[in-house]
Structure 1
Amino acid sequence: MGIFRELHVLLTIYKCCSLVPYVPPRPARENAKRVYRCFRLRIVLALGVILFITWLRAQILTEYSLFLNSLSYVMWLLASTVDTIALSLLLIANGINVTHYGTLIKLLDRIEGAIDRWPSTTTTANRSPAYPPYRWVAMVGACLCTVYYWYGFFSNFEPDISLVLQIRWELLLVDVYVVHVFLLLLAMGRCAKRLQSMYGETVQRADVTNLCAVLRLRDDLLHCVTLVNRIYGTLFLGISASMLISMTCIVYFDFVYTGLQFYHDQPYLVEHSVMLLWKCVLTGGLLAVAGSVAEQIQAITQIPWHCTFDSVHNRPLAAMVDKLHYKCLFQDVRFTVYGLFTIDSSLSYMVVSSIVTYLVIVTQFRQLEVDKAAKRMGRS
């Protein structure tokens, strides 16, 4: 199973959390409908739990009615609910794209299996003796996520505040799921490099049979890009929104709230710095990997066509090879959020520009709030 075999432990955790329908191998066709039906039922139950916890948090927050008209309360409320909304949308998207998940597993399994069975001395010489240590990277990533949120919980724990408001389990689930997508993109980049090497070998040998097989594998990899965009587009958008809100709130509470003054002894300065670094590494790393993998896949579609068919008398076969070669020139191989903007450039620009715009608006509202408070003090 390649990448999905390496991530077996993570996928088991995701299955328990209703994030994936099953752990590969794929269920039999007669059991697939039952598995998908149970998965959608688990999603409904998970959404019910999320809705109940959100309602419970809202009930607890209404006790602090003095802060309901405060801009700081609004900022904190946005920061505490955006990841909950992102997780809910992620569950809904996974339920809608449950069949595409099985197709993605099937295609990647076919590509990785063909690469491992490729009878080439050159590719075998460059091939690592085993798969890259995806499972160890996954375990390290999951442990780092757990340690980070345990640190955030214990460093900011307030005994006077309800635990429902302090335990942010949805943040941990989303970040661990990002690790899975991160490794999935790396596996696709690895397949793109191997296919490029295999493509060059078949062109040099004018091996039309194997060339057709490589071109079909390339089409499968391009189809995987489309499936990733469809399945994980909500995740890309959700973590970008989470980074936008988190960074805006950090700047607000550490800079705007204090009258555009920055103090080295600011409360929660260390925690906010760690949070800012964590969000930048997680989101920025995922966007960078998506851009790099897209370039590697794009390189397969831009390889010059050097193969000649002078020795091939089968014209239909030559025409089929030409068709397979030129077909990918009209396909979009970029990772996008539902076709709206690319992951590598447009999304990063959107997040940065949105943070700046959001901060300008928040600063203006904060100034109005300060002026209003000053007028009240003057009247009294």
Structure 2
Amino acid sequence: MEPIKWNDEKIEQHLKHLPPIRDRRSKQELFLKVQANINYKDNKWKRLPTWSLPALATACALVIFGVFAPDLMKNGVQMENSKVAQNSDKMEEKSLDGSADKDQNSAGIMKAEPSIAYHAPYLDKNLKAMKKDWVTVGYLDEQAQLVIPVSFLTDEDYYVNKVNKELKAFNPSDVGLTDSPLEKATITEEEETVVVDFPKDSINEAEEPLLQALISMTFANEGQKAKVELRMNGKNGYEFPRFGTVSEWNLQVPGAPHFRYDAPSTDSFIVSLFSTGVDADSIPKEFTDALEMMDDEQERGLQPLLPKNTVLGVNVISKDDVEITFPDSIKLSANDTEDLMMIDAILLTAESYGFESVKFNNTKLDSIGPYQLDEEIEGVTGSNFYQ
């Protein structure tokens, strides 16, 4: 069958043959339906009430967050992991650099590792610039094997007054030391004699062997006093457990090599061999011999500050002046505390043998600590200053 070809005329004729279509709704119903559609279209595009905006914004934000949150979290974790990886790389790089530096400068780093509180001596010119005086008081180590001289900056006063003041003010446990036996005594002076009056039985057997060295190192500084008179409860002579009754001692501090002593705290001191209580006759009589001892281990916790088998050149220019030449094997560092302690130990040893000035040669440094190494160093005063 051939398909019908539609045109306007045929469509019109076809529609005429269709049954009539009538809306059975009343006119009133049709009016209300049309009116409702018009009101709906007018209100549809009106602005929303103000109170509804926050709710709408929140709803929109939640929708957006729900859509993008997984990606954001994923990216955030990736960024954080990236930062951790970068920091880890930096730390590893720093560690590698530190290891390389340590390999290159192992000797210097190993020296600098211990964190110590070192109490250095002063130069007399620096004390004068500060308008300060000084005093030295002897204390004991924890085992009562050594006398540790500790110096203090003071105002000008009678020497015995300064000693009495520091005995009351200073707490030796702050630097790993124990009390001085002098704290038990009444100390006065009569011209060149210092009078030390102990209560009976106040000196124990551990303190007794070191008492003479302790009193000498306290009162014989720069010739302050020549003699100590001992009393017991106001009466002449003190009765010791082993020495018996002693009335007086001459105050002398012989020249002696100096060594390092590390207290149980972080404090380090430079101490004379005389601090061990040894007889003065067993100490080297010559400065050169004393220097030769200063690279050897000692008893009672004394440590050498010169490297083992070090030979220093010594040129005694006069009774007051000496030159010290370092061997090429010693490489000093201006920032190394142990190197400064080595210089101080040599200066204090030279001073104890009566030299007033020391000139160092071949140090390869212009200065270290307070010292200009291209000049003569003179006026080293006190030892182990505590502030």
Normalised to the residue count of structure 1, the TM-score between the two structures is: 0.20
The structure number with the bigger radius of gyration is 2
More helix by share: 1
TM-score when scaled to structure 2?
A: 0.19
More strand by share: 2
